[in-house]
Amino acid sequence: MIETIILNALQAALDPEVYMEVPENKPATYVLLEKTGSQRQDRIDMATFAVQSIAASLADAATLNETVKGVMDQLPQLTTEIFAAKLNSDYNFTDTKTKERRYQAVYNITYKE
């Protein structure tokens, strides 16, 4: 599964924990990976992933976001299944209700499992 491939690559490269759902006991700093969509064309799979960088301060979330983008950009070199990882967008994604400081990077991934 592409989710597992990306999760494993991020976990191996990042210091904070990486999750696919919000953990019950949230650490101060962590990364959240979510597949938001996918498609297939000519036997080539494509998926969109949102990667949230959560930290105690907005500055720390922004710094973590840059680190996450560095790893995501390297996915084609880190795995044999991923052919391309293209940043679609990244932005401040602070939760206005909970005041949880976070950034989100959205990536388009081309892969073959």
> Going from the N-terminus, what domains does the chain have, and what CATH number goes with each?
2-111 (3.30.2000.10)
99: left (phi over 0), alpha (psi -120 to 50) or beta: left
The pTM (predicted TM-score) of the whole model is: 0.94
CA dihedral of residues 22, 72, 102, 7 (deg, nearest 10): 10
Q: What is the pLDDT of residues 39-57, one digit of tens each?
A: 999 889 999 999 999 999 9
Confidence of residue 33 (pLDDT cuts 50, 70, 90): very high
